[in-house]
Structure 1
Amino acid sequence: MCLAIPARIEQLIAEDSAIINLGGMRKEVSLALVENIAVGDYVIVHAGYALQKLDQEEAAHTLAMFAEMSTMNELHGDEA
Protein backbone atom coordinates (compact mmCIF):
# COMPACT_ATOMS: atom_id res chain seq x y z
CA MET A 1 0.00 0.00 0.00
CA CYS A 2 1.20 3.51 -0.82
CA LEU A 3 0.71 6.58 1.32
CA ALA A 4 0.83 10.02 -0.28
CA ILE A 5 0.74 12.97 2.10
CA PRO A 6 -0.17 16.64 1.50
CA ALA A 7 2.74 19.01 2.04
CA ARG A 8 3.18 22.78 1.71
CA ILE A 9 5.77 24.21 -0.67
CA GLU A 10 8.11 26.43 1.38
CA GLN A 11 10.83 27.23 -1.13
CA LEU A 12 11.50 26.66 -4.82
CA ILE A 13 15.17 25.67 -5.13
CA ALA A 14 15.43 24.77 -8.82
CA GLU A 15 13.22 24.55 -11.86
CA ASP A 16 12.05 21.10 -10.82
CA SER A 17 12.77 20.94 -7.07
CA ALA A 18 11.35 22.45 -3.91
CA ILE A 19 11.58 22.32 -0.13
CA ILE A 20 8.31 21.16 1.43
CA ASN A 21 7.05 21.30 5.00
CA LEU A 22 5.54 18.03 6.12
CA GLY A 23 4.30 18.36 9.68
CA GLY A 24 7.29 20.50 10.65
CA MET A 25 9.80 18.34 8.80
CA ARG A 26 11.47 20.00 5.80
CA LYS A 27 12.44 17.88 2.83
CA GLU A 28 13.53 18.36 -0.77
CA VAL A 29 11.18 16.91 -3.39
CA SER A 30 11.06 16.76 -7.16
CA LEU A 31 8.47 18.85 -9.01
CA ALA A 32 9.11 17.04 -12.31
CA LEU A 33 5.58 15.57 -12.36
CA VAL A 34 3.60 18.76 -11.65
CA GLU A 35 3.29 22.19 -13.26
CA ASN A 36 2.69 25.75 -12.09
CA ILE A 37 3.76 25.25 -8.48
CA ALA A 38 4.41 28.29 -6.27
CA VAL A 39 5.49 28.86 -2.67
CA GLY A 40 2.46 28.28 -0.43
CA ASP A 41 0.87 25.66 -2.69
CA TYR A 42 0.03 22.23 -1.35
CA VAL A 43 1.06 19.07 -3.18
CA ILE A 44 0.61 15.36 -2.65
CA VAL A 45 4.04 13.84 -2.04
CA HIS A 46 5.11 10.22 -2.40
CA ALA A 47 8.62 8.78 -2.54
CA GLY A 48 10.27 12.17 -3.01
CA TYR A 49 8.00 13.37 -5.82
CA ALA A 50 5.16 15.87 -5.82
CA LEU A 51 2.42 13.98 -7.65
CA GLN A 52 -0.45 16.44 -7.72
CA LYS A 53 -1.31 19.98 -6.66
CA LEU A 54 -4.10 20.35 -4.07
CA ASP A 55 -6.24 23.31 -3.19
CA GLN A 56 -5.75 24.60 0.34
CA GLU A 57 -9.16 23.41 1.58
CA GLU A 58 -8.63 19.86 0.34
CA ALA A 59 -5.14 19.76 1.87
CA ALA A 60 -6.45 21.01 5.24
CA HIS A 61 -9.22 18.38 5.21
CA THR A 62 -6.78 15.56 4.42
CA LEU A 63 -4.28 16.68 7.07
CA ALA A 64 -7.09 16.88 9.64
CA MET A 65 -8.07 13.29 8.81
CA PHE A 66 -4.46 12.12 9.30
CA ALA A 67 -4.34 13.94 12.66
CA GLU A 68 -7.60 12.29 13.72
CA MET A 69 -6.33 8.84 12.74
CA SER A 70 -3.12 9.46 14.70
CA THR A 71 -5.10 10.50 17.78
CA MET A 72 -7.32 7.43 17.52
CA ASN A 73 -4.26 5.20 17.20
CA GLU A 74 -2.69 6.80 20.30
CA LEU A 75 -5.91 6.30 22.29
CA HIS A 76 -6.57 2.73 21.21
CA GLY A 77 -3.09 1.43 20.48
CA ASP A 78 -3.00 -2.08 19.06
CA GLU A 79 -6.45 -3.17 20.27
CA ALA A 80 -7.53 -4.25 16.79
Structure 2
Amino acid sequence: MCLGIPGELVEMATDDTDLALVSVAGVRRRVNVGLLTEEEDLAVGDWILIHVGFALAKIDEAEAQAALQMLHDMGPAFDQEIADFAQSDVG
Protein backbone atom coordinates (compact mmCIF):
# COMPACT_ATOMS: atom_id res chain seq x y z
CA MET A 1 0.00 0.00 0.00
CA CYS A 2 1.27 3.49 -0.71
CA LEU A 3 -0.03 6.38 1.37
CA GLY A 4 0.49 10.10 1.39
CA ILE A 5 2.07 10.78 4.77
CA PRO A 6 2.85 14.01 6.63
CA GLY A 7 6.44 14.84 7.41
CA GLU A 8 8.16 17.74 9.14
CA LEU A 9 10.97 19.56 7.35
CA VAL A 10 14.11 19.37 9.47
CA GLU A 11 16.71 20.62 7.00
CA MET A 12 16.59 22.39 3.65
CA ALA A 13 19.19 21.66 0.98
CA THR A 14 22.21 23.96 1.04
CA ASP A 15 23.11 23.18 -2.56
CA ASP A 16 21.06 23.78 -5.68
CA THR A 17 18.88 20.67 -5.39
CA ASP A 18 15.22 20.21 -4.61
CA LEU A 19 15.93 17.81 -1.74
CA ALA A 20 15.06 18.42 1.90
CA LEU A 21 15.48 16.29 5.00
CA VAL A 22 12.11 15.32 6.46
CA SER A 23 11.14 13.49 9.65
CA VAL A 24 8.18 11.09 9.60
CA ALA A 25 7.46 9.36 12.92
CA GLY A 26 11.12 9.75 13.88
CA VAL A 27 12.45 8.41 10.57
CA ARG A 28 14.52 10.94 8.61
CA ARG A 29 14.90 10.81 4.84
CA ARG A 30 15.51 13.15 1.95
CA VAL A 31 12.47 13.97 -0.16
CA ASN A 32 12.07 16.04 -3.29
CA VAL A 33 10.26 19.34 -2.63
CA GLY A 34 10.61 20.57 -6.23
CA LEU A 35 6.91 20.10 -7.02
CA LEU A 36 5.93 22.77 -4.52
CA THR A 37 5.75 26.29 -5.84
CA GLU A 38 8.14 28.99 -4.70
CA GLU A 39 5.15 30.77 -3.15
CA GLU A 40 5.04 27.98 -0.55
CA ASP A 41 8.18 29.49 1.02
CA LEU A 42 9.19 26.27 2.77
CA ALA A 43 11.20 26.48 5.98
CA VAL A 44 12.47 24.15 8.69
CA GLY A 45 9.54 23.21 10.92
CA ASP A 46 6.97 23.26 8.10
CA TRP A 47 4.83 20.17 7.47
CA ILE A 48 4.44 18.64 4.02
CA LEU A 49 2.44 15.77 2.55
CA ILE A 50 4.78 13.16 1.03
CA HIS A 51 3.99 10.54 -1.60
CA VAL A 52 6.63 8.23 -3.13
CA GLY A 53 9.48 10.54 -2.16
CA PHE A 54 7.91 13.79 -3.36
CA ALA A 55 6.33 16.60 -1.38
CA LEU A 56 2.88 17.24 -2.83
CA ALA A 57 1.58 20.00 -0.56
CA LYS A 58 2.45 22.15 2.41
CA ILE A 59 0.01 21.47 5.27
CA ASP A 60 -0.44 22.96 8.72
CA GLU A 61 0.64 21.17 11.87
CA ALA A 62 -2.91 20.45 13.05
CA GLU A 63 -3.73 18.74 9.75
CA ALA A 64 -0.45 16.82 9.90
CA GLN A 65 -1.08 15.59 13.45
CA ALA A 66 -4.65 14.56 12.63
CA ALA A 67 -3.45 12.63 9.56
CA LEU A 68 -0.63 10.96 11.51
CA GLN A 69 -3.09 9.88 14.21
CA MET A 70 -5.49 8.46 11.61
CA LEU A 71 -2.62 6.62 9.91
CA HIS A 72 -1.29 5.34 13.21
CA ASP A 73 -4.77 4.00 14.01
CA MET A 74 -4.57 1.91 10.82
CA GLY A 75 -1.99 -0.27 12.57
CA PRO A 76 -0.06 -2.59 10.24
CA ALA A 77 -0.57 -0.47 7.10
CA PHE A 78 1.02 2.55 8.79
CA ASP A 79 3.79 0.43 10.27
CA GLN A 80 4.59 -0.90 6.79
CA GLU A 81 4.56 2.59 5.30
CA ILE A 82 7.03 3.82 7.93
CA ALA A 83 9.24 0.74 7.33
CA ASP A 84 9.18 1.44 3.58
CA PHE A 85 9.95 5.13 4.17
CA ALA A 86 12.90 4.18 6.39
CA GLN A 87 14.39 2.09 3.56
CA SER A 88 13.88 4.63 0.80
CA ASP A 89 15.89 7.70 -0.11
CA VAL A 90 15.56 9.84 -3.22
CA GLY A 91 19.04 11.31 -2.91
**Does the alignment reach a TM-score above 0.5?**
yes
Q: What TM-score comes out, normalization by structure 1 length?
A: 0.79
Q: Which residue of 2 aligns with 1:52?
A: 57
Which structure is higher in helix share? 2
Q: Which runs of 4+ in 1 moved over 3 A?
A: none
Letter in 2 for 1:40: G
Deviation readout 1:25-58 (Å, 9 max, x if unpaired): 1100111011311100110111111010001110
- Unpaired segments of 5 or more residues in structure 2? 77-91
Q: Does 1:39 align with 2:41?
A: no
Which structure is higher in strand share? 1
Ranked by relative contact order (alpha carbons within 8 Å, sequence separation 6 or more), the top structure is 2
Q: What TM-score comes out, normalization by structure 2 length?
A: 0.70
- Unpaired segments of 5 or more residues in structure 1? 72-80
Bigger Rg, which one: 1
Q: Figure out how many residues of one structure are paired with residues of the other and give that number.
A: 72
